[in-house]
Amino acid sequence: MSDQVRIIEMGPRDGLQNEKAPVSVEARIAFIEALVGAGLSTVEVGAFVSPKAIPQMASSDAVLRGVSHLTDAEFHVLVPNEKGYDAACAAGAQVVSVFAAASEGFSRANINCTVAESIERFKPVLARAKADGVRVRGYISCVLGCPFDGEIKPKAVADLANTLWELGCYEISLGDTIGVGTPDKAKQMLRAVAANIPPANLAMHFHDTYGQALANLYAGMEEGVRVIDAAAGGLGGCPYAPGATGNVATEDVVYMLEGMGIRTGVDMDKLLAATNEMSGVLGKPPVSRVASALNAKRKRAVS
């Protein structure tokens, strides 16, 4: 294990987009500022998608502009097509993410097209981004299981990852969208993908529905992957998978890594403060085990 891991903070996008009630632009900006202040220097801050489809991500342009003063951080935004790319660039985006699914069922449910059709949609985005000097990250959903198609073969994930890689994505984020994976399956999938793509260019985006995310991340680290997507407080979920929880909690990842002597650059106290502030906005406690434990410990200390 190397002594450093890069965490991509997903709370402001992947987390908040699954909340029932949209969060104000001001609260989203304050959340991002607090996360960056805690040492999370790479944050996905929004998605340039139809506000009718995902009202929680409306005004992502205002959010991106609102955090532009944080020059020591890198901000990512999700774009589904050229229209989204145009809007993102107009707001000053330097890194955009495109997304596809490893399963046909999820692709049709999520973006109403086949996997092949989704690739055709973002081919022009990648071509234009290359010409514009904008970096593109690629997401693959349902790499360890699909709510519609069931088990996903590692080869299907590897083939799609190769396509994204060859089209110009600098990093491929592999998502266990419904959190059904286990360590051995995670290793098999990562080995299939890493046959053609260096582990240094892969990221793990594991949800914690069945409580396996940390174990799966550890297994992936044993395979050489050193980038982890996580969401403060464990925010998020999947609208197509009943019971699916959010991305693995950033607090839980930081606690595990720091306990292993692996540097994250994250200040746990400041991260917890950011999580608690957003939890107050949402009106519910964080699902992060570490955040819950630390909050209980502090409550006892002052009582």
pLDDT tens over the chain, length 303 residues? 667 899 999 999 999 998 888 999 999 999 999 999 999 999 999 999 999 989 999 999 999 999 999 999 999 999 999 999 999 999 999 999 999 999 888 888 877 788 889 899 999 999 999 999 999 999 999 999 998 889 999 999 999 999 999 999 999 999 999 999 999 999 999 999 999 999 999 999 999 999 999 999 999 999 999 999 999 999 987 666 666 678 999 999 999 999 999 999 999 999 999 999 999 999 999 999 999 999 999 999 887
At position 284, the amino acid (one-letter code) is: K
Helix boundaries (H) for the chain = 25-37, 60-66, 82-90, 104-111, 115-132, 154-167, 183-194, 213-222, 250-259, 268-282, 289-302
* Candidate list 89, 146, 169, 238, residue with the active-site label: 238
Which of the 8 DSSP states describes residue 4? B
- Cα separation, 238 vs 226, whole angstroms: 25
Asked if 39 and 265 count as a contact pair (C-beta separation under 8 A), the reply is yes
Among this protein's residues, is 238 annotated catalytic?
Answer: yes
Asked if 189 and 146 count as a contact pair (C-beta separation under 8 A), the reply is no
Determine the 3-state secondary structure of 206 from DSSP.
strand
Q: What are phi and psi of 82, to 5 degrees?
A: -65, -35
Q: What sign has the CA pseudo-torsion 214, 217, 221, 226? A: negative
Rounded alpha-carbon distances, angstroms, from residue 120 to 49, 115, 125, 162 = 17, 9, 10, 15
Asked if 253 and 242 count as a contact pair (C-beta separation under 8 A), the reply is no
pTM: 0.95
Q: What is the DSSP string of 70-109?
A: -TTSEEEEE--SHHHHHHHHHTT-SEEEEEEESSHHHHHH
How many CB atoms lie under 10 A from the CB of residue 117? 13
Q: Which has the closest alpha carbon to 125: 64, 56, 190, 48?
A: 48
